[in-house]
Every structure is written in C-alpha cells, then in structure tokens.
Amino acid sequence: MTNLSSADLRSQLQGLWLPLVTPFRDGDLDETSLRRLVRHYARGPVDGLVLAATSGEGMALGIAELEQVVTLTRAEMADIRHYMPICLGLSGASTLKMLDQLDETAAWPIDGYLISSPYYVRPSQRGLLQHFSVLADHASWPIVLYNIPYRSAVNLSNETLLRLAEHPNIVGLKDCGADRAQSIDLLRRRPSGFRILTGEDTQYYDAISDGADGAILLSAHIDTEGFASVRTLFREGNRDAAQARWESISDLTRLLFAEPSPAPAKYWLSRTGLIDSAEVRLPMVEVSAELAARLDLEIEQRCRGVDRLPRRAQS
C-alpha cells in the first residue's frame, strides 16, 4: 500500500483520531486483541490511528514490539479492506537517539510520526526549535508535533510552533498544552494547512468550538460515535445539539482519567470484551478496586436493558 505524502497527511489530519491502546496478556503483546481492536474501530467513525504513544504505552515497548504493533495493525486493515492513516508515537530526550529511531522505523508501513517534546532535560525554545528541525529534516515520514508540558516539563511556545510549522515535513500538532488562551492564539496565527488536534479529552468541546481541526482522544475508545458526533453536529451548525451531546459524554472523560491512563480504559475494554486482559506494564498498574467498581457501575448503566455485557467480538 502506498504511504501518504506530507500533503496527503495534512488533508487527513482532521476529525477523530484514536490513540490506540496496546493490549498485553501474560507479559506479551496480545496479537488477537490488537487485531480485534483494529477491526472494531474500523467499523466506526475513526479518521486515523496513533500507535504506541502515551495511551499505547509506547515507552514500555521494545523496538521489535513497536514494529509488531505497526505490522499487525496494517495487516488487519488489509484483511478487512479498510484503510486508515497511521501515525507512530515516538519520544525521547536525546536528539541523536531520536534520529536512530527514525532510521529504524523508516521502512515501516506508517504514514507519519507523532513526536513529543524531549522530557526531563527541559531545553530552551531555541533548543526545541533545533531539535524538531533536525528530526524533520531527517524523517522519512511527516511529523505531527506533540506539545504536552505537564509530561515533558517544557512547553512549546507559539513562536516556536509557528516557526516549526513552516517546515515542509511538519504537518500539525497534537495540543495538550492545557492553556486555552495559547491554543486560541495559535489557531488564529497558524499558517494555512497546519493542522491542530486537541489531545485534552476534557477540553474537546471547547477546542472544537475554538476552531481545532479535530482530536486525538483516549476516551473515544468507549463511545466513539458520541465523540465523533460532537464535531459533526458542530460543523453542521447545530451547536445546541453538539453541546447537548458533549454534556452526555463529558463525565466519561473524567472517569477514564481518574487514575493514570490507559489503565481505566483498558479495564473498560476488557470488561466489555474488546481486549482479553486489562494488563498494563510497570510502572503503570491496573486500576484500584474502588475505580473498578465505579467503572463497572458506568458500564452497567450504559448496558442497561441488555441481558449481559456485550459479547466478545469474533477473533
């Protein structure tokens, strides 16, 4: 299958993207559950997948496992004859090591990268500009920047982002800056074709109303159609319906982040049969008994009127 050019990824970097969780079982990658997830979300209103990023526990995966996740996902899409663009999540605190990762993944069947700011070292804005510019010059696939200062301990300023947006191989931003004023300013000043998707689940409606092109949302694992409909209704001019739909699902975004993500989402997906185990890798741990009870109650309420929880999809 032919991969996307930078121009193609720009055009498809909108709507609802899913940062797919990585299923494990007994310490290993659960290939059966991964294929089941891809089949399930291919049937819904998902515009693209991000693999092995924060929600996919990418930092807990070895390079062979990363390739396995990508290969299995693309193979399942081919089997069901349904195409979605794929961005691979990469992160690191060393520019040289990131260049090595770009080389190792250059021939993989992906369409782009989602690359977060370097964590822990807290570079200056000049350092961030040079870091991402070097990566973009080197990368075989277009790059989506990932600004998430509460994890990386450094914020990409709008001046830096606007300069990076001029690079032909940098096509967009996953915005987890958690600063609505900064986001609005960037949306107003960004160059044509530079895509901005929110990654803040609880701020999804605000971001769409402010002009974001879409979202990359962990919560959309659970009510995919509901999250997609918020943007669809808003774009159709039906703001009241969009807000009402958002209000009906906004509590879900808080519940799924009540403990470190993606453990709550994995628990939900395992209880409803999409994955075989809620297993996460240390230092992540599975949800507490208290949160499990809250999630069970929410699942039961959503399944009310059904004799039992949904059957596991056919493997």
pLDDT tens figures, 58-103: 999 999 999 999 999 999 999 999 999 999 999 999 999 999 999 9
E strands, the chain, in order: 15-20, 24-25, 28-29, 48-51, 86-90, 112-116, 143-147, 170-175, 195-198, 214-216
Give me the pLDDT at residue 297, please.
97
Could you tell me the residue ranges of all domains in the chain? 6-247
pLDDT at site 267: 98
| Burial class of residue 182 (count of CB atoms within 10 Å of its CB; 0-12, 13-18, 19+) | middle
**Tokens for 200?**
């803040």
Task: Give 303's pLDDT tier (boundaries 50, 70, 90).
Answer: confident
Q: What amino acid positions are annotated as catalytic residues?
A: 146, 174
216 appears as a binding residue in the annotation: yes
pLDDT at 7: 64
- Structure confidence at residue 63 (pLDDT): 96
Handedness of CA 278, 282, 284, 287 (dihedral sign): positive
pLDDT tens-digit map of 192-238: 999 999 999 999 999 999 999 999 999 999 999 999 999 999 999 99
**Predicted local confidence at residue 1, as pLDDT:** 34
Segment 98-152, tens digit of pLDDT: 999 999 999 999 999 999 999 999 999 999 999 999 999 999 999 999 999 998 9
Q: Each residue of 150-193: pLDDT tens digit?
A: 989 999 999 999 999 999 999 999 999 989 999 999 999 999 99
Q: How far apart are CA 97 and CA 202, in angstroms?
A: 33
Task: Assess whether pLDDT exceeds 70 at residue 310.
Answer: no
Q: By three-state DSSP, how is residue 126 classified?
A: helix
- Reported as a single tens digit per residue, the pLDDT across 230-248 is 999 999 999 999 999 999 9
| Tokens (6 digits) for 203 | 């701020």
**Annotation-wise, does 55 bind a ligand?**
yes
- Residue 304: what pLDDT? 77
DSSP letter for 201, please: G
Taking CA atoms, 164 is separated from 53, 114, 190, 283, in Å, by 21, 14, 10, 33
pLDDT score recorded for residue 56: 98
Query: So what's the pLDDT on residue 4?
Result: 54
Please say if the pLDDT value at position 313 is more than 90. no
pLDDT for 6: 65
CATH of 6-247, one of 2.40.50.140, 3.40.50.150, 3.40.50.261, 3.20.20.70: 3.20.20.70
